[in-house]
Amino acid sequence: MCGIVGYIGKSLAAPILLDGLRRLEYRGYDSAGLATVSDGRLETRKCAGRIQALADLLKKEPAPGGVGISHTRWATHGRPVDENAHPHADGSGRLVLVHNGVIENYQALRAQLVEAGHTFKSQTDTEILAHLIGKLYDEARAPHGKARLLEATRAGLKQVIGTYGIAVLHLDVPETIIGARRGSPLAVGLGRGEHFLVSDPQAIIAHSQEAVYLKDYDVAVVGRDGFEISTLEGGIAGSYEVTKVDFTSDDVTLGEFPHYMLKEIFEQPHSVRDALRGRLSKDDASARLGGLNMTPQELRDVDRVIITGCGTAYHAGLVGEYLIEALGHVPCEVEFASEFRYRNMPMDKGTLVLAVSQSGETIDTLAAVRESVRKGHRTLGICNNVASTIARECGAGVYMHAGPEIGVAATKSFTSQVTVFTLLALLLGRIRHQSSSEGLGIIKALEAIPAQIERALETSDQIREIAAKYVGAKGMLFMGRQYNYPIALEGALKMKEITYLQCEGHPSAELKHGFIALIEPDMPSVFIAPDDTMFESNLNSIEQVKARRGPVIAIGTEGRKGLEQVADDVVYIPRCPDYLSPLLTIIPLQLLSYHMAVHLGRDVDKPRNLAKSVTVE
């Protein structure tokens, strides 16, 4: 959620830190700050609000020096005010620390420190950690220096219950940054005569294309000319891998688009092509997913699939459930990752667990992975970052190839996840019951999807006009059947996330079982009603809404008549098989939420209270 950027090198640190924070701005935050070392002094600047507020403060009060740490904070403990912004100092004022995560036992630690005479300036759990490490450093008998700071950091973290990704600076060791992680991502960025410590390498792509991702309980000592990684217990860390960052600065620029969300909506023909590239085999009439590391016999032995994820990934999993059962003939269930590890779910040896996360760092999904692995189940990851914690801990899975997604509201990652589930369902189906001709039919339909998404995107201007009609709505209802019930959920989520309207997603047929009470003229209903086996049923539900004076926006299939007679507005998508319709029906809903948010004057890419990567419970 929060962002960490540390720098040590030959250049001024503050401009590099500020640029790095801007590149992480999409993650969600409510305050920002940095600290640099210059001429034996710590120069700390921090404030609530946007990064631009910090930039303005630095113009008035520059922070010189070639080493520094910085942070964007998403409030967990304490309101988003100046004094709660990071970095936080220890009692001596000679140590500063930034922190992602949550210290669960901070109240007990605080009580011990207060009893020892410490006073605190903030309401954060992070300041307690800064005081604890500072106190242990001051009490240590070892000579002042890097080893002493390293040992104090280790000793402090051993007392912590919770999650952390931290960067520590001390005036006694001005040429060193200490980093450590448990449950919150952290990586060392590599350079020549300069190094970085970041929560996401995207922050430093203008300066470094190589990174080493820390593992849980790793501690890194970072200097200008090198770095060392050890364990929290003091041992030598295992081997580490230098990862090439697979995107450039051009990948994360807006180009001609006013917002990242709109840019990423329009990137979906490309991102879906990338998810399919090299994975369709006409010779086998099947999909090739080598990253699964499973033989055909092992795949055939799977008698149950459990998909786990959060938010948009959960909705993609619901589409996957329909796909895997319909095409693969394997029973499938979807569980919220936040609930998975707390349930005592009966799972036999034939169960395959699929963990879905765009970032690969979602804390609840990571916990679900660890619970599944702990119980001995084969667990695969579906991620957009091959070096992420979930990808590493699963050890096998499918890489989405969606490219960087900056907008907080997920768009192209959703369609990439659904594409991966379609490939997996095809693979399972061909192993079990599908004929080669059936497999080739699915391949042909999949190959046509990117171009069909391009045609669906041509509705953007029409949808902008529709959004203007309903800008005064007090909320929206989204309804769909079968494959498109999860699309109703995802459409409602997108609208909630960036417009702040109260929205709900439901199966269309559930209308008369309760929520029909919400129908009124200022509560539009969005029906996902393609030309499928549920079309007549959806048409009947639309009639029930219209009978109660409810406005209706319908998503239909080109060439299928009927919707225009009952709906107030109809947006048409290209014709495709039922099982692929979610890849097309979601496009108008993404555009509708985007254009509604723009009409309402919302901050589309940085909606209130949200973060892109949720790394705290």
Question: Using alpha carbons only, what angle is made at residue 226 by residues 221 and 229, rounded to the nearest 5 degrees?
Answer: 40
Predicted pLDDT at 487: 98
The answer to whether the beta carbons of residues 67 and 169 sit under 8 Å apart is yes
Segment 148-186, tens digit of pLDDT: 999 999 999 999 999 899 999 999 999 999 999 998 889
Indicate the pairing of strand 332-336 with strand 304-309. Answer: parallel
Give the model's pLDDT for residue 406: 86
| Domain range 254-455, CATH architecture | 3-Layer(aba) Sandwich (3.40)
Long-range contact list for 52-55, CB < 8 A, 24+ apart? Answer: 54/18, 54/21, 55/18
- What pLDDT does residue 461 have? 97
The C-alpha atoms of residue 289 and residue 386 are separated, in whole angstroms, by: 15
pLDDT for res 341: 83
The topology under which CATH files domain 3-251 is: Glutamine Phosphoribosylpyrophosphate, subunit 1, domain 1 (3.60.20)
User: Catalytic site residues?
Assistant: 2, 612
Residue-wise pLDDT for 275-285, tens only, equals: 999 999 999 99
- How far is Cα 284 from Cα 440, in angstroms, rounded to an integer? 9
Under DSSP, the state recorded for 215 is P
- Calculate the CA 99 to chain-centre distance: 19
Quick check: pTM over 0.75? yes
**Among the four given CATH numbers 3.40.50.1220, 1.10.3720.10, 3.40.50.1860, 3.40.50.10490, the one describing domain 458-604:** 3.40.50.10490
Output the pLDDT for position 611. 66
SS (H, E, C) 26-77: HHCCCEEEEEEEECCEEEEEEEECCHHHHHHHHHHCCCCCCEEEEEEECCCC
* Domains 254-455 and 458-604 belong to one CATH topology: yes
SS (H, E, C) 347-400: CCCCEEEEEEECCCCCHHHHHHHHHHHHCCCEEEEEECCCCCHHHHHHCCEEEC
Residue spans per domain, the chain: 3-251, 254-455, 458-604
Contacts of 139 (CB under 8 A, 6+ apart): none
User: What's the confidence (pLDDT) of residue 403?
Assistant: 87
pLDDT at 276: 96
Consecutive 10-residue runs of the chain (617 residues): their mean pLDDT?
A: 89 94 80 94 93 94 96 83 93 95 92 95 93 94 86 96 94 95 91 93 86 93 94 82 71 83 97 95 94 93 96 97 96 94 86 94 90 92 87 90 89 97 97 95 97 98 97 96 97 97 95 91 96 92 93 95 93 97 98 97 88 61
pLDDT of residue 462: 97
- Residues 148, 154, 158, 161, Cα dihedral to 10°: 120
- What are the residue ranges of helices labelled H in 140-233? 146-158
The distance from CA 546 to its chain's CA centroid, rounded to whole angstroms, is 38
Please name the residue that has the structure tokens 């209706």: 552
Q: 3-state SS of 401-413?
A: CCCCCCCCCCCHH
Q: Looking at residue 1, what is its pLDDT? A: 54
pLDDT of residue 342: 87
